[in-house]
Amino acid sequence: MQAQEELVRRRLVHKSPNGKKRVFSSSHCLSNIVYCGECGELYRRIHWYNRGKKSIVWRCISRLETTSANVSCHNRTVPESRLEQVLVKAINRTICDKDDFLAVLQKNIETVLSHGNDRALADIEKRLKELQAELLKLAASNTDYEKVGNEIYRLRDEKQKALMESANRNEVKKRIADMGAFLRDQPTEITEYDESLVRRLIEKVTVYEDKFVVEFKSGVKVDVDE
C-alpha cells in the first residue's frame, strides 16, 4: 500500500508559479519533495563538476532555466549530503521530543475526526433511493420526470464528493497513525540517513536562506536552522 501511494505521489503534476506544468518521473527519494522557499519551485538534483571534483547538489529549477527569466530566484544551492543531514535532524527531533509530538498527532487525529461527514453521505444515499423510486413511478405514469432526474444527477455528484472526502480523511488518519507507530517503536535517535524512512514519513522540505522547514506526512512540521 505504501509503495502504491508513493507511485501515485510521484505521478502528480507540479504546477510552477510561472504556470508551467512539470511532470517528473525521477525515482530519487527526494524528487518532488524539495521546494524553494523563495519562489515556490521544486528543487532538482544535479551532478556538479567543479575542478575535477564530482558532487551532487540540489538547485531551484528557476535558477536552472534561464529562459524562464520572469522568475528571478536567488535561493541557495544545497549539497545532497546537507539535505540528508537535515532530514536526519528533523526525524531525530521528533524522536527526542516524542511525547510532545505524540500529543500533537493525537490532536491532529481529533481534528480530522471532527471534520467527518459520514452522516452527510448516509443522508445523500437515503435521498437518492427515494428519488429513484419516485423516478420509476413518474416514468411509469408518463409524467415528466426531468426535474427528478436532474436532482438525481446532482446528488450523485455530491455523493462522489463526499466519498472522496471520506477517503482523504481515512488517508490522513492512516498517515498520522503511522507516524505515531514509528515514534512508539523507535527507542533511540537514528544515526544515519535512511531513504525508506524518508519515503515513509516525509512530505516536503522547503529550503530558505537561513533554515529548512521539514513537513511530515502526518502534518507535523520541524524547522532546522542553519
- Considering beta carbons, is residue 36 or 105 the nearer one to Zn ion? 36
Pairing of strands 211-216, 202-207: antiparallel
- Do 75 and 37 form a contact (C-beta atoms < 8 A)? yes
Q: Which residues of 32-41 are buried (b: 16+ CB within 10 A; e: fewer)?
A: bbbbbbbbbb
Q: How many residues bind Zn ion (CB under 5 A)?
A: 8
Report if residue 73 touches Zn ion, rule: CB under 5 A: yes
Please state the closest distance from residue 13 (CB atom) to Zn ion, in A.
18
Which of 43, 57, 75, 175 binds Zn ion (CB under 5 A)? It is 75
Q: How far apart are CA 167 and CA 158, in angstroms?
A: 14
Q: Is 206 in the site for Zn ion (CB under 5 A)?
A: no
- Does 38 sit near Zn ion (CB under 5 A)? yes
Cα distance between residue 176 and residue 10, in whole Å? 20
Of 14-22, 40-48, 186-194, 199-207, the segment contacting Zn ion by CB under 5 A is: 40-48
- By rule CB under 5 A, what string of x and - marks binding of each residue 49-68 to Zn ion? -----------x-x------
**Shortest CB 206 distance to Zn ion, Å:** 10
Residue 205 as a binder of Zn ion (CB under 5 A): the answer is no
* 186 within 8 A of 101, measured Cβ to Cβ: no
Question: Does the footprint of Zn ion cover residue 41 (CB under 5 A)?
Answer: yes
DSSP line for 122-137: HHHHHHHHHHHHHHHH
Residues near Zn ion (CB under 5 A) = 36, 38-39, 41, 60, 62, 73, 75
